Structure 1
Amino acid sequence: MPDSLSIADVLDVDYPGTPAWSADGAYVAAPVYEDDGQPLRIALVDDDDAVSEEPWRFAPEEGYVADFAWGPDPMPARLAVLSDEGELFLLNARLHTVERISGDVDADDVAWTSDGRWIAAYRDGQPCVFDLENGDDERFDVPERGTYLGEERMLAFGPADRLLAFRFVDHEAKQVGVVDTDSGELVWRSRTPASTHSPAWADEGTLLFDRASDHGRVREVVAVDVDDGASRVLHREEEEEHGVASLGGFSVSPNGDRVAMALPLDGWEHVHVVDVATGERRQLTAGAFEDKGLASSVPQWLDADTLVFASNREDHGVRGIYAVAGVGPDAEPEVRELVTGGTNVHPRPAPDGDALAYVHASGERSPELRVASLDETGPAEPTRLTESVVDDWPVDPIEPEHVSWEGVGGFTINGYLLDPRESPNVADDATDLPAVVWVHGGPMRQMRDGWHPSRSYGLAYAVQQYLAHEGYVGLFVNYRGGIGYGRAFREALFGNRGDHEMDDVARGADFLRELPYVGDDVGMWGLSYGGYAALQLLGTHPEAYDVAVNLAGLADLELYRDWAEETKYPTVASAQVRRFDGEPWEATEHWEQASPRTHFEHYENPLYSFHGTGDRYVNFEQLDVVVEELLELGKDHEWEYYPDENHVFSKRVTWERALEKIETAFDEHLR
């Protein structure tokens, strides 16, 4: 009897996050989601960019690592680490020591002064600084951070260490302020009705930030002189009909004279730089491909003249890492290849530019944290700072096959197929096999040709591998609205949500049934927007799937909008109203047709639902709607709520239970 893959094997896979280098380039650290938590892995990298000792694993006694930041040049081996339980730690990577600084901070962001004496974090929603020299701390009496979700960058010290920029909420919008840490005075703040966030300093007097307004119609990058309040718009995008399409923030050059962004202005996401002094924008890359690894990715500075970025220029389903030199106005941009093969994201150059840390994944290997030396000829053989456990699986993963079909409007819908006949557990000539489709969330995501680098979709890929070894044909669908295939493909979802993209997914089931070795029985499952697809498709395309599994999906879009604009993002930054052609009372039919609850009465096949009550991305009351209305209609529905669980369940025991239920559902209805 051949060896079998188990759910335990699936859940044993680790998922490293974005790496960061110490100021002296001696260490690389990254959060790594493993089993029941997210510790920090810290590796000592020698002069040959090899790991010279076993990486140090730090995990708080309670909770997981929520954020971290390396200390500056005066103390490069030290890290400030935040836990989701409100603890602030000071780690010494060289001595492997841990000092608990505070137990009552907010798990948002942490920042250092350039001299290494002060650390900033939020406490009770307000910025607070901790003096590492004498042990004092001070919380500033300024407007509070508010309920909206945080950004990657929320706190930033000015170059002279006196001014601290922070994000807060006022006038029902995100705002940015600057507090003088010597006097405690609020010296500048934004007061516009726009949503302002992600502060960064160009120099001691010039603060940069992102700004969205008019229901997502306008996006701007702004520079302000905090002394006199004078502001300049460095970059502006405006899209009247459906709102601005660009995603991700900006990065500031080492000398503060330019910002870099990935923008879809020519129809594809490409690297652009904007001069802080003049506002002149320059596009550095071009072509029918996207220079972005993930939806929120931002180009990173290798040096003052060179940027590194992930790109799918070789194949839309993977990502290589590239560098573009010549950012100045008189230079000719020159792109060179750094890393290829599989999906490579989160590139982070070492401080001296001689090495690159990044996350790698492929069809053969689950995500790994890697480091590669750089020279003029390209990278050397990479060093693995974490290693894929797939090497220890009892069977090899099945290699995905790229497939496609035509969608509404002539769009090509791409997907990846797992053929179980490649497994030693399934006969080569097997026929009438059941099939399962995975639908990603977002919708601005993309499944890859192999493991996805993030935990949300990497875990789904691993589960589909397990199901394939159990005899299920697997399919991943990259429906319209996702990244990777150009702006027109992403915007093809605008104005018809719940309609054309659902047809893309339904045609995926048709594609499977036309394969000679697939039977009539096809199921589907999805998370977030994929859960929404499960709820919508059973009502709008009841013939497509014989069973559907909803993980944290939306049932009522108006209910979600009202909740999200109180807890996730401001109304002025949300383009939902534009993309539905009006408010719910103005475009009633559009909102209703896009909401699965409208179609519950048409359900013919069973639904299984799972949701965590601690979800910060989709309100768990959405499942209340599903449960109450399907009970009243007498539809076939089983469901479970998980107390305090988040959007992507964090506990192994939760996944063990949910996946057992999901597999049982597929076995019952598809075999």
Structure 2
Amino acid sequence: MIGRHARLNTLLASCVGALAALFVASASSAAQQGDATFRTRLSELLAMPFASDLTGARNAPVIAWVERRNGIRNILISDDGNVPRRVTNYTQDDGTDVWGLALTPDGRTLAYVEGGDPEYPTDTPPNAGQLSFSGKQTVRLILPSGRQVLAGEGHSPVFSSDGTRLAFSNGGSLLIGRIGGKTAPVFTTPGAITGIRWSPDGSRLAVELDRGSHGLIALWDVAARSTRLTFIPPALASDRLPTFSPDSRFIAFVRTREPLSNAPPDKGRFWSLHVYDSAARAEHVLWTAPEGHGSRFAAPEGLSLQWTPSGQILFPWEGSGWRRICVLPAIGSTEPHCLTPDNAEVSSARLSQDGNSLLYTANVGDPDQWRAWSQSLSGNQPVRLMTDNDEVTKLIVAGPDIAVMATNATQTAHPVVMRAAQQKMPVTPILPQGMIFTMPQSVHFRSDDGLDLHGQLFLPPGATPARHPALLFVHGGPQRQMLPAFNAMGYYSNAYLMNQTLASQGYVVLSVNYRSGSGYGEAFRNAPGTGRAGASEYRDVQAAAAWLKARSDVEPAQIGIWGGSWGGYLTALALARNSDTFAAGADFHGVHDMTEPDHPGLSPAQNRSAHDMEWRSSPVADIEHWHAPVMLVHGDDDRNVEFEQSVLLARMLTTRGIPYEDHVFSGERHAFLRMQDWLTAYLWMDSFFDRILVHRN
């Protein structure tokens, strides 16, 4: 099967060169036929299948994932890497999310969540589809017979180690039930349940609770069904990521403290690794991160603690300035030993089925190239698992198999299964008929303070020496990284697709990875003075614009900028500060006023100074210099960036007579849930830039 995968990539790559002339003719024809043809092409691209939520069975070669196709989400299951079967039957692009997948250890039963918002599971479920009565957030089971069973309202389902029981949460309530039977709440406590872990012997659950100012870990005895909760002794901090030892006696966890807003980056020790002995009811500090690099805990979603069979604990740490997987024995006081290579970041990590090897994804050797690796716990050199050049940022284990979520320049996220030296693709993504992508070029340039910046350049197919209009894309987050490939996140997969489409329209497009983003080490991610502390990342936006302006194929007077969320903030900042450089911008749900309430722990004078810097870092602070047209897009049920941020900007633009175009999606969240809304927004943006940049209307 490895040959099949390699041949497919070779064929797709050769098509890019062989059919470039056809693409030019296709683009020209589309322009002649007008907006209807362009709308059809963009709709077909957004309808491409996109995979997410990959999960695997612990003891069987079974994987499951969510496939979004034409905006409709359904669940697919593959056994032994073979052609998958669809186990749900959703038919509408109504914004109903499907997420939170979990398989029993034997892979025969699946749990998932229907509805709700994975980022805000305790909030009121969204209603992007404008239904008369909004849907609920429910946990559902698909039994071996294929029959679906409603387990109850809630989220985050987790099966016991023997696969006979299911636990899930609903706000501060924990619910447990037998598979196929009734589930019932066993306790309700203040705060929100943010994590559930079964002990390997199935006798207890460790529950992570968020109470705002602090976090606790509660233990629930399943057999005793006690009327009282037991807590690991809490602190004036947040206890996170509880993980049982193989014998179920010990629980490792991380204790974090939030630094003050003005804390020096090289001062303070803000997290520690702890072990709780449930038999002795005693907890001790195993290790505390020292000052300097890695003194503040940082780990992407899904990267947790793990116990080895020999009683060691694996954990992420940035002690060298890069996120690595390190190891400590659960007993004894020693310094951690880091297993994964330095100068590379790990995005996901799992122990192999036998517990002897660490499997992980990391950008070893090139920060813009993510690969899958295997490394013996004894410390041997890492071995690359895949032979192709796919970007791989997530890895799971399913019995004897390893499965990854892969993307490349022409393929959206799709699962690849590996067993020994073979690779299988349960699903082969297919491009819409007649569509060819431009191959993005990885480029480098420097900011005015000498920082090395990475980006991706999209050129119009068959580009000539003539000058073209240009667009700068700034991602959100800001802790994100754009790659010369489709992104594994749906929001940025759509953005990559739109950058491709804009290039096909004749724009030179540059996507810049500015400071405060991920993938380039802790110093880059935590660069001083970013955001409301000084907007230092705007230097990188300026450097990218200067790099574009200096190109012989770019018309300097026709440079625009677009982005969403933090990218919307930088878009607005660019127009407010440099309408002389940026002739137009498209701002999706951006932040426009960065001022915050008083910060705890700061004096009145310190707070006044902080607020002054927050204001000066805001787009609205430079509104007097703003004269370039802007398009504003926002969903009015946004839980990440307040809708009022765009309302405020529109009021200020109106007051000063600055031209703008505004669009609102009623009921939509931050990352639009309906494909139709992405399509509509991107069509608005394409029309806007065509009028303002190309035809100067």
Question: Could you say which TM-score interval applies, normalised by the shorter chain?
Answer: 0.7 to 0.9
Find the aligned partners of 1:404 and 1:542 in 2 and give their Cα distance.
25
Shift of 1:646: 1.4
Matched residue, 1:550: 587
Amino acid in the other structure paired with 2:540: D
Amino acid in the other structure paired with 1:164: L
Aligned counterpart for 1:120 among listed residues 164, 167, 173: 167
Q: Is 1:9–2:44 an aligned residue pair?
A: yes
Matched residue, 2:366: 315
Matched residue, 1:425: none
Aligned counterpart for 1:138 among listed residues 157, 166, 185: 185
Q: Check 1:169–1:273 CA distance in 2 against 1; reply closer, same or farther (3 A cut).
A: same
Q: Check 1:139–1:616 CA distance in 2 against 1; reply closer, same or farther (3 A cut).
A: farther
For 1:46-445, list aligned pairs within 5 A. Answer: 50-52=81-83, 54-57=85-88, 59=90, 63-73=96-106, 76-84=107-115, 85-92=136-143, 94-102=144-152, 105-107=153-155, 109-132=156-179, 134-145=181-192, 150=194, 154-170=195-211, 172-181=213-222, 182-202=225-245, 203-215=247-259, 218-226=270-278, 229-237=281-289, 239=291, 244=296, 246-248=298-300, 249-253=303-307, 255=309, 257-278=311-332, 280=334, 281-288=336-343, 290-293=344-347, 297-325=348-376, 327=377, 331-339=378-386, 340-352=388-400, 355-374=401-420, 379-380=421-422, 382-390=423-431, 392-422=432-462, 428-429=463-464, 431-445=466-480
Which whole-Å deviations, capped at 9, do the CAs of 1:42-67 have from their partners, x for residues lacking one? 1122xxxx415545455499832221
Matched residue, 2:35: none
Name which of structure 1's ranges 11-20 and 521-530 shifts more when overlaid on structure 2: 11-20
Find the aligned partners of 2:370 and 2:591 in 1 and give their Cα distance.
30
Aligned residues: 620
Find the aligned partners of 1:548 and 1:399 in 2 and give their Cα distance.
25
Matched residue, 1:565: none
Which whole-Å deviations, capped at 9, do the CAs of 1:120-172 have from their partners, x for residues lacking one? 111353111123365352331333317xxx5xxx1112233232222223362
The 8 Å contact of residues 356 and 373 in structure 1, kept in 2 or not, is answered as: yes
Q: Check 1:241–1:279 CA distance in 2 against 1; reply closer, same or farther (3 A cut).
A: closer
Q: TM-score, length-normalised on structure 2?
A: 0.82
Please state whether the residue corresponding to 1:2 is helix, strand or coil: helix
Please state whether the residue corresponding to 2:449 is helix, strand or coil: helix
Which whole-Å deviations, capped at 9, do the CAs of 1:174-203 have from their partners, x for residues lacking one? 322122232232012553221223322224
Q: Is 1:514–2:545 an aligned residue pair?
A: no
The 8 Å contact of residues 11 and 652 in structure 1, kept in 2 or not, is answered as: yes
CA RMSD of aligned residues (A): 2.9
Matched residue, 1:531: 568
Q: Check 1:515–1:67 CA distance in 2 against 1; reply closer, same or farther (3 A cut).
A: same
Structure 2 stretches lacking a partner, 5+ long: 1-24, 31-37, 116-135, 261-267
The 8 Å contact of residues 548 and 608 in structure 1, kept in 2 or not, is answered as: yes
Shift of 1:228: 5.1
Q: Check 1:18–1:583 CA distance in 2 against 1; reply closer, same or farther (3 A cut).
A: farther
Find the aligned partners of 2:486 and 2:454 in 1 and give their Cα distance.
16
Q: Is 1:501–2:550 an aligned residue pair?
A: no
Find the aligned partners of 1:667 and 1:581 in 2 and give their Cα distance.
49
Q: Check 1:190–1:434 CA distance in 2 against 1; reply closer, same or farther (3 A cut).
A: farther
Matched residue, 2:13: none
The 8 Å contact of residues 412 and 493 in structure 2, kept in 1 or not, is answered as: yes
Amino acid in the other structure paired with 1:597: V
Which whole-Å deviations, capped at 9, do the CAs of 1:568-624 have from their partners, x for residues lacking one? xxx99xxxx99x999643423322222222222221211211122222222222222
Name which of structure 1's ranges 161-170 and 130-139 shifts more when overlaid on structure 2: 130-139
Query: Identity percentage over the alignment?
Result: 21
Please state whether the residue corresponding to 1:165 is helix, strand or coil: strand
Q: TM-score, length-normalised on structure 1?
A: 0.85
Amino acid in the other structure paired with 2:414: E
Q: Check 1:396–1:52 CA distance in 2 against 1; reply closer, same or farther (3 A cut).
A: closer
Name which of structure 1's ranges 410-419 and 633-642 shifts more when overlaid on structure 2: 633-642
Find the aligned partners of 2:86 and 2:357 in 1 and give their Cα distance.
30
Shift of 1:643: 2.0
Name which of structure 1's ranges 189-198 and 614-623 shifts more when overlaid on structure 2: 189-198
Please state whether the residue corresponding to 1:658 is helix, strand or coil: helix
Shift of 1:338: 0.6
Structure 1 stretches lacking a partner, 5+ long: 423-427, 563-570
The 8 Å contact of residues 291 and 309 in structure 1, kept in 2 or not, is answered as: no
Find the aligned partners of 1:530 and 1:89 in 2 and give their Cα distance.
36
Which whole-Å deviations, capped at 9, do the CAs of 1:546-568 have from their partners, x for residues lacking one? 11111121112234x78xxxxxx
Matched residue, 2:120: none
Shift of 1:225: 2.8
The 8 Å contact of residues 60 and 83 in structure 1, kept in 2 or not, is answered as: no
Find the aligned partners of 2:428 and 2:520 in 1 and give their Cα distance.
30
Shift of 1:79: 1.3
Aligned counterpart for 1:625 among listed residues 648, 652, 661: 648
Find the aligned partners of 1:134 and 1:653 in 2 and give their Cα distance.
38
Which whole-Å deviations, capped at 9, do the CAs of 1:437-463 have from their partners, x for residues lacking one? 111112221111222221111110101
Find the aligned partners of 1:447 and 1:261 in 2 and give their Cα distance.
26
Name which of structure 1's ranges 6-15 and 461-470 shifts more when overlaid on structure 2: 6-15
